[in-house]
């Protein structure tokens, strides 16, 4: 019998396409995530368990995850998000004796987890990157006013072992810096402050083995959440750009990368590409290349088991993809922002006009399969819970509610 694969992660839009790909080819899949993440129930997943967070209880994390591996006989481990990738890197030697780990050794993977290191190596490869300043805490933002032109993009410098306390955000003026990051309140994680570069988000996905690029895929983000830039909610497969492919291969080879990775760019209307970051694991749109004919999870498994995959030379350019739950989050956010922003109202109007087209049955969904509906049902219920919670919180904070309450 084929031994099962263990996926570490909690994002259904990443885990489910990997699990379904492997399960279609007779490869059993189990999933482990950190408490208190809800377990993903799917016909493509044999066992789903929660383990302690390693930053809270390292000993129990190692003990319980090793116990799971020994009990089920996994022979391959795939970290499916940055949180899990960091945990695997920090405890690589605790599991390397039991099974194959689906990422390079720690010294290499840390170069991708550290965004500053990635950008530095990219520059040495001749790849254009945004002007970037690394700061130790948010109080140093005020010192950059006047020296770094607005608008800025601020993001954590390091993909951390816990959920990031501060996600990427944009700052357009010195007044926004003072409002969002007052001097009396300091965020301590190191941050990158980058010049904003306009353009479409383009991802170049690759699988490298023994230093050679085995297959490539390229997609373009069509809609994101939040709408100003973030996770893809709709995307389309496009023809590989030779210049982006050349840069991406050079960068990953300079990193000595092995396995899957996505190199992300911003591409202007004139075609000028600027590197944003490298994801050293499976990406949120992984269901798109699988639908278009490039089955990354299967090829990675085959290479890890000494097999030579039969990889198509081309894929279905123009294939679209949708993450329905993310799309709903985007619409909800635009409804809220539209009360204060004419730009948000315009984007919301365009989204409403394109709703039927975006939700065409011909566009595959990130998680929804009629033969396996439960994961999407649970994801939808959790989103509805969040929407109710957000709405109630805003109502409690509104001046109108306060006046009514005092009366």
Encode pLDDT of 364-406 as tens digits: 999 999 999 999 999 999 889 988 988 887 777 655 444 444 4
Q: How confident is the model at residue 178 (pLDDT cuts 50, 70, 90)?
A: confident
Q: What is the CATH number of domain 131-195?
A: 3.30.1490
Distance, CA of 265 to CA of 268 (rounded, Å): 10
- C-alpha of 361 from chain center: 25
Distance, CA of 149 to CA of 196 (rounded, Å): 9
- Look at residues 94, 99, 97, 84 and name the one whose alpha carbon lies nearest to residue 3: 99
Q: How confident is the model at residue 160 (pLDDT cuts 50, 70, 90)?
A: low
Q: Is 185 exposed, middle or buried (0-12, 13-18, 19+ CB in 10 A)?
A: exposed
The residue length of the chain stands at: 407
pLDDT for res 64? 97
pLDDT for res 236? 98
Q: What sign does the dihedral 180-183-187-189 (CA atoms) show?
A: positive
Distance, CA of 123 to CA of 273 (rounded, Å): 13
pLDDT per residue over 192-210, tens digit each? 888 888 899 999 999 999 9
Distance, CA of 301 to CA of 172 (rounded, Å): 45
Q: What are phi and psi of 45, to 5 degrees?
A: -115, 125
pLDDT per residue over 13-34, tens digit each? 999 999 999 999 999 999 999 9
Domain residue ranges in the chain = 5-102, 131-195, 200-322, 324-406
pLDDT per residue over 2-18, tens digit each? 999 999 999 999 999 99
pLDDT for res 159? 67
Distance, CA of 78 to CA of 100 (rounded, Å): 9
pTM score > 0.85 for this model? yes
Paired tokens of 339: 């009360």
pLDDT for res 404? 41
Highest mean pLDDT among 137-141, 224-228, 233-237: 233-237
Strand blocks (E) in 9-85:
29-34, 47-51, 76-79
Q: Which CATH number fits domain 5-102: 3.40.50.300, 3.40.50.20, 3.40.50.150, 1.10.8.190?
A: 3.40.50.20
On the question of a common fold for 5-102 and 200-322, the answer reads no
pLDDT for res 187? 66
Report whether pLDDT(135) > 90: no
Supply the mean pLDDT for the chain. 91
Report whether pLDDT(156) > 90: no
Distance, CA of 288 to CA of 270 (rounded, Å): 26
Cα angle value 385/388/392 (rounded, 5°)? 140
pLDDT per residue over 68-104, tens digit each? 999 999 999 999 999 999 999 999 999 999 999 999 9
CATH superfamily of the 200-322 domain = ATP-grasp fold, B domain (3.30.470.20)
Distance, CA of 123 to CA of 159 (rounded, Å): 20
Q: Which residue reads 């409690």 in tokens?
A: 396
Q: How confident is the model at residue 163 (pLDDT cuts 50, 70, 90)?
A: very low
Q: Above pLDDT 70, what percent of the chain?
A: 94
The residue that leads in pLDDT, 178 or 237, is 237
């Amino acid at each position: 019998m084929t031994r099962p694969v263990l996926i570490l992660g909690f994002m259904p839009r990443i885990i489910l396409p990997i699990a379904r790909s492997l399960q279609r080819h007779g490869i059993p899949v189990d999933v482990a995530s950190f408490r208190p993440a809800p377990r993903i129930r799917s016909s493509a997943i044999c066992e789903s368990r929660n383990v302690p967070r390693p930053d809270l209880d390292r000993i129990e994390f190692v003990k319980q995850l090793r116990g799971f591996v020994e009990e089920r006989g996994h022979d391959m481990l795939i970290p499916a998000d940055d949180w899990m990738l960091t945990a695997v890197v920090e405890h690589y030697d605790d599991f390397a004796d039991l099974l194959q780990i689906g990422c390079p050794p720690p010294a290499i993977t840390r170069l991708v987890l550290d965004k500053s290191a990635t950008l530095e190596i990219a520059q040495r490869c001749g790849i254009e990157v945004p002007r970037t300043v690394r700061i130790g805490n948010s109080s140093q933002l005020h010192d950059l006013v006047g020296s770094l032109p607005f608008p800025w993009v601020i993001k954590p410098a390091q993909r951390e072992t816990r959920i990031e306390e501060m996600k990427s955000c944009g700052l357009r003026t010195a007044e926004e810096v003072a409002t969002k990051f007052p001097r009396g309140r300091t965020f301590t994680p190191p941050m990158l402050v980058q010049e904003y570069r306009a353009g479409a988000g383009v991802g170049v996905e690759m699988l490298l083995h023994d230093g050679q690029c085995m297959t490539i895929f390229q997609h373009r983000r069509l809609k994101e959440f939040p709408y100003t830039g973030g996770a893809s909610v709709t995307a389309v497969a496009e023809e590989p750009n030779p210049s982006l492919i050349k840069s991406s291969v050079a960068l990953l080879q300079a990193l000595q990368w092995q396995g899957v990775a996505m190199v992300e760019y911003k591409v202007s209307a004139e075609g000028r590409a600027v590197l944003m970051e490298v994801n050293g694991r499976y990406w949120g749109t992984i269901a798109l290349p699988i639908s278009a004919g490039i089955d990354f999870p299967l090829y990675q498994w085959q290479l890890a088991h000494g097999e030579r995959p039969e990889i198509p030379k081309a894929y279905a350019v123009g294939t679209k993809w949708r993450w329905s739950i993310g799309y709903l989050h985007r619409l909800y956010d635009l409804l809220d922002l539209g009360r204060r922003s004419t730009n948000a109202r315009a984007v919301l109007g365009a989204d409403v006009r394109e709703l039927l087209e975006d939700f065409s049955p011909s566009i595959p969904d990130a998680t929804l399969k009629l033969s396996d509906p439960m994961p999407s049902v649970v994801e939808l219920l959790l989103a509805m819970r969040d929407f109710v919670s957000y709405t109630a919180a805003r109502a409690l904070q509104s001046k109108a509610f306060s006046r009514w309450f005092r009366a």
